[in-house]
Structure 1
Amino acid sequence: MSSEIMDAYWQAPPLARTVATAAFITSLSVFMGIVSGYWFYFAPDLLFKIPPQIWRLGTNFLITGPKLSLLFDPYLLYTYLSALEVGNSRFSRREDLIWYLMFVCTVITALCTYVMGGGCFLPALIIALCRTVTQDQRGVKSNFYFITIPAQLSPFCIMLMSLLDPSGAGYYTFIIQLQGFIAAHLYDFLSRVWPEFSGGRNLIPTPAFLSRLVQTPRFNQRGYGTAVRGGGGASAQTSGSSTGVSRGGGVLPDSWRTRGPGQRLG
């Protein structure tokens, strides 16, 4: 049983799996008192200390809420991030999704710092992911707790539930979530709405250096098939068949195919 669980874990989308696991383990360590939460929340003045605590730009997105949120927040994070990683044509390359996360997290950090002064912004990231996943799902139904709603209403329902939180922290969470919704809307406007409806170009394209850093492999194994990535030029053209084998490539390495006809020995 344990081996089956681990197999299922390693077959999950790698980016979603890694981020959700990091959020769960980090939050569990903080709530159990193993590590201090002081080292994870974001505060702008701490970025300008010597040495600057730049890790807070990322770690503040790894702290969930207490109690049941310790389970629900990583679950929602994994659900929406995996939907973008394997099922969304806008993020066919891994670097596109990484650039999306970098953009929305930067906007969320800027907005939340201006409005709230600092803190932990994972609720905003979850809303941003939910907004991006569901914005094109017109006519699709989604289950929210025990009711069925249009998928596009999911982020609004999550924010409404935050307002109804009896603990008193709901309004604070709602304000943070609202910044995530704004960040996702801004990304969609700059990358898709503006180019499509104004005849302009994508104002926030994925940087070329990020593509070089990620070094996306030519063959990407996914749950729904194998994605073949071209390497540019005529040599990168594929046959378009379901096998994904390049034209003229065969099974021999390039170094073998560039040799001459050879000569018989003896």
Structure 2
Amino acid sequence: MPSEVMDAYWAAPAMARNLATLIVVTSIAAHFGFVSYGWLYFGEDRLLRFPPEIWRFATNFFLSGPKLGIILDPYFTYQYLKQLETANPKFSRKEDLVWYLMTVGGMIIFLNRAFLGGGFFLGGLIMALAYTATQDQRGIQSGFIVFTVPAQSIPLCMLALSLLLDPSAIPLQLTGLLSAHLHDFLSRLWPEFGGGWNIMTPPRFVSWLVKTPRMVQREYGTAAHQPRGAHGVSGGSAAGDSSGASTGSVLPDSWKTRGSGQRLGGN
């Protein structure tokens, strides 16, 4: 059973799995006093220190609400980010989804710091994910906790749930909804219907970050996944060296480049 659970965990979409895991671990650590909230919240003054505490751009999205929020917030994050990662044509490339998270997250931070205040914004990001994942699912039924509702009504259901459990969370959720609307307008509606250009195209550095060599998990160990090299080598001796695999000869490469050699005992 433990191995089956771990297999299912590692088989889940990577971005949804990793973000949900970060939320669970960070929230438990903070709510139970193992980590101070002061290291996680977003504040402009913390960015002006030396060195600047730039991790706060990300960690403010890692803290769930207390009590029931420790369960619901990672669950909603995983569900809707998984849909974007695996089934949404707007994000056919990984860098598209990474840039979406960066831009929408930035909009949420700006709106809250400019108009509402606060230092933790996961509720806004969850609302943005839910809206983006369901906005084109007209006529499709979707599950919301224990209910089956029209997919496009999911954001309204989330607002209704907040109205019952924590009305103070609604303004934050509305900033997420507005940010997702703005992203959709700039990336899809304006280019398609307004004749403009898509200003939400991922910049080159995002593509570079996504396509850098990364670690690949295997049943028998871990290996570095290398893209095709500058000389057109894909695999070959480089792959053999990194994984310990044989390249088709029992001799070391250095022995193959020492010249023709001499017969023992010869002149």
TM-score (norm 2): 0.77
Deviation at 1:187, TM superposition (A): 0.4
Q: Distance in 2 between matches of 1:7 and 1:145?
A: 25
Segment drifting more, 11-20 vs 49-58: 49-58
Matched, 1:158 2:158: yes
Aligned residues: 215
Pairing 1:113-262 to 2, within 5 Å after superposition = 113-165=113-165, 170-215=166-211
Paired amino acid for 1:144: F
Deviation at 1:202, TM superposition (A): 0.9
Q: Please list every run of 5 or more consecutive structure 2 residues that lacks an aligned counterpart in the other structure.
A: 214-227, 233-267
Q: Please list every run of 5 or more consecutive structure 1 residues that lacks an aligned counterpart in the other structure.
A: 218-230, 236-266
Q: Distance in 2 between matches of 1:208 and 1:89?
A: 20
The answer to whether the 8 A contact 1:64-1:70 is kept is yes
Deviation at 1:43, TM superposition (A): 1.7
Identify if the C-alpha distance between structure 1 residues 210 and 203 changes in structure 2 by more than 3 Å, giving closer, same or farther: same
- Structure of greater Rg: 2
Q: Distance in 2 between matches of 1:129 and 1:216?
A: 26
Q: Distance in 1 between matches of 2:38 and 2:107?
A: 23
Q: Aligned residues: percent identity?
A: 51
3-state DSSP of counterpart to 1:148 = strand
Deviation at 1:72, TM superposition (A): 1.0
Partner deviation per Cα, 1:239-266 (whole Å, 9 max, x = no partner): xxxxxxxxxxxxxxxxxxxxxxxxxxxx
RMSD: 1.7
Give the structure 2 partner of residue 24 of structure 1. Answer: 24
Q: Which runs of 4+ in 1 moved over 3 A?
A: none
Q: Distance in 1 between matches of 2:198 and 2:98?
A: 17
Give the structure 2 partner of residue 96 of structure 1. Answer: 96
Paired amino acid for 1:14: A
Segment drifting more, 128-137 vs 148-157: 148-157
Segment drifting more, 45-54 vs 95-104: 45-54
Q: Distance in 2 between matches of 1:145 and 1:92?
A: 28
Q: Distance in 2 between matches of 1:149 and 1:7?
A: 31
Deviation at 1:80, TM superposition (A): 0.5
Give the structure 2 partner of residue 11 of structure 1. Answer: 11
Identify if the C-alpha distance between structure 1 residues 78 and 145 changes in structure 2 by more than 3 Å, giving closer, same or farther: closer
Q: Distance in 1 between matches of 2:11 and 2:67?
A: 28
Give the structure 2 partner of residue 105 of structure 1. Answer: 105
Deviation at 1:216, TM superposition (A): 7.3
